[in-house]
């Protein structure tokens, strides 16, 4: 059943971030990212709002459902759903990203490209509900994300400083560190209806 109060919270976060983007101008600023962090923290503080269609795991691979993209593509909000044991390839983002854990648990394993080629493992973060991880070209942009559970679905809500589904990014071969171009797209043809809220 649709949780209208939950969708109203989602709508409010979108509204707050849009207003701040308008006021801030520079959506790569630390101030804007800090504001987005606060809004994402609020959104993931309660796991009662994500519509079922945007929480559905695929049997073979992870899903990324677009929840909202700013019309000026200054930010996008995505629901990432990992089935048991699923993980991303090693990839980068080319923009800042906040990864907020909603349900289950996941591992974010960072990598750096070594001078002599190849990838060197970096920070290993275990995210539990309420935790937020950060990626950016400046702070460390290469990682893989792994569902920490072999027997349950995990879901995180990501807020990026671009329309992440169309950004030209890279995926990396673990052994050689060689990269190839990657554009993720979105798994969903629809976004949640946050506008038809019942009285
Ligand atoms: Fe990522």
pLDDT at 117 over 90: no
Q: With pLDDT > 70 as the criterion, what percentage of the chain qualifies?
A: 98
Tell me the CA–centroid distance for residue 145 and ligand 1, in Å.
7
What distance in angstroms lies between residue 199's CA and the mean position of ligand 1's atoms? 37
2 found inside a domain? no
Q: Using one digit for the tens of pLDDT, what is the confidence trace for 47-83?
A: 999 999 999 999 999 999 999 999 999 999 999 999 9
69: domain range?
Answer: 50-182
Residue 18 within any structural domain of the chain: no
Q: Is pLDDT of 199 > 60?
A: no
Helix, strand, coil percentages (3-state) for the chain, rounded to 5, are 20, 35, 45
In a domain, 16, yes or no: no
Centroid of ligand 1 to alpha carbon of 89 (angstroms): 9
pTM of the full predicted structure?
0.95
Q: Say if CB 10 and CB 54 are below 8 A apart.
A: no
Residue carrying the six token digits 């560190």: 177
Q: Is 195 inside any structural domain?
A: no
Q: Report yes or no on 193 lying in a domain.
A: no
- The CATH number for 159's domain is 2.60.120.10
CA of 1 to the centre of ligand 1 (A): 31
What are the backbone angles phi and psi of residue 49, rounded to the nearest 5°? Answer: -120, -20
- C-alpha pair distances (Å), 37 with each of 42, 61, 160, 180: 9, 27, 11, 30
Mean of pLDDT values over 40-50: 96
Q: From ligand 1's centre to the CA of 91, what distance in Å? A: 6
Asked whether residue 4 is assigned to any structural domain, the reply reads no
Decide if 43 is inside a domain. Answer: no
The pair of structure tokens assigned to 25 is: 């101008």
Residue 62 tokens read as 């992870």
If one counts the domains in the chain, the total is 1
Average pLDDT of the residues of the chain: 95
- CA-to-CA distance for 141 and 37, rounded, in angstroms? 17
Residue 56 lies in a domain: yes
């Amino acid at each position: 059943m649709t949780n209208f109060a939950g969708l109203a919270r989602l709508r409010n976060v979108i509204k707050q971030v849009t207003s701040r983007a308008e006021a801030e101008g520079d959506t790569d600023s630390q101030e804007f990212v800090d504001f987005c962090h606060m809004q994402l923290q609020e959104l993931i503080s309660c796991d009662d709002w994500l519509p079922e269609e945007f929480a559905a795991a695929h049997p073979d691979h992870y899903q990324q459902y677009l929840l909202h993209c700013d019309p000026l593509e200054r930010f996008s909000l995505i629901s990432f759903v990992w089935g048991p044991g699923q993980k991303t390839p090693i990839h980068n983002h080319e923009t800042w990203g906040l990864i907020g854990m909603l349900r289950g648990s996941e591992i974010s394993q960072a990598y750096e490209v070594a001078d002599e080629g190849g990838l060197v493992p970096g920070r290993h973060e275990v995210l539990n509900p309420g935790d937020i991880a950060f990626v950016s070209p400046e702070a460390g942009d290469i990682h893989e994300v792994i569902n920490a559970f072999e027997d349950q679905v995990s879901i995180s809500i990501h807020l990026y400083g671009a329309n992440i589904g169309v950004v030209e990014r890279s995926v990396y071969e673990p052994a050689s560190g060689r990269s190839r171009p990657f554009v993720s797209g979105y798994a969903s043809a629809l976004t949640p209806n946050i506008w038809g809220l019942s009285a």
